[in-house]
Amino acid sequence: MTAMQKPLIGVLGGMGPLATVDFMQRVIELTPASRDQDHLALLVANLPSTPDRSTAIIDGGPSPLPALLDGIDLLNRNDAALIVVPCNSAHHWIDAMRARSAAPMLHIGEACVAALPAGVTRVAVLATGGTMVSGFYQTLLRNRGITPIEPDHAVQQHVTDCIREVKAGNIPASAEALSPAIRILAEQGAEAVIMGCTEIPLAARPLSAFAAELGVPLIDSTLALAHATVDFAREKGWLAQGV
């Protein structure tokens, strides 16, 4: 398979921009490659003007769906062979996006649940308020026989502060906001924590030792989606052979 023949993986991003770049880096790091030509071809639609997903879900604000569908159309016009969306809350509209997409679309929530350690029965979800109200993580977990632990108001406020600081580019402040949320959920019996917003893993990087001390695995939604993307490419034969 030559570089010209390699199928395009469409990335519908910009929600937010740092999370989109983080996803791209994870895909690159996970791809077995010894030269430029071995890497997967990514066509990234970085569309930060997409209306806020949580505001739409919770408060009935402007719907992001028209912008999401415009992004799908853009990727369709460029013959994307797979489409991924490194934004959890956008998956509230996954059915409408899949109906519009000419290519298969991976589901970030399904990728996260598949990445959970075997045997866990109580899993906390940290996400935007919109994702929590949407409820798709709770449904996916319950379908696996796992009890979801939902943050109370105080913990959700820590999460909201964390996400806001990442979007503003202030990673130290985002980590400071996130750490009490993880500690409280561990005290409540969480056996793992899904970081169900692609901003949260950026905040959690400085907290890996802290989480390890608590004994609570942190499931990175960005990394889970990147793994699912590379696995899809492997199954389709899009990866270089013998690397």
Active site residues: 87, 197
What is the distance of C-alpha 210 from the center of its chain?
22
The sign of the CA dihedral 102, 103, 107, 110 is positive
List residues bridging with 45 in a β-sheet. 12
Residue 218 backbone zone (phi > 0: left; psi -120 to 50: alpha; other: beta): beta
List residues bridging with 82 in a β-sheet. 9
Q: CB under 8 Å to 170, separation ≥6 — which residues?
A: none
Type of residue found at 103? A
Per DSSP bridges, beta strands 41-46 and 8-13 are parallel
Q: CB under 8 Å to 169, separation ≥6 — which residues?
A: 18
Rounded CA separation 73/226 (Å): 22
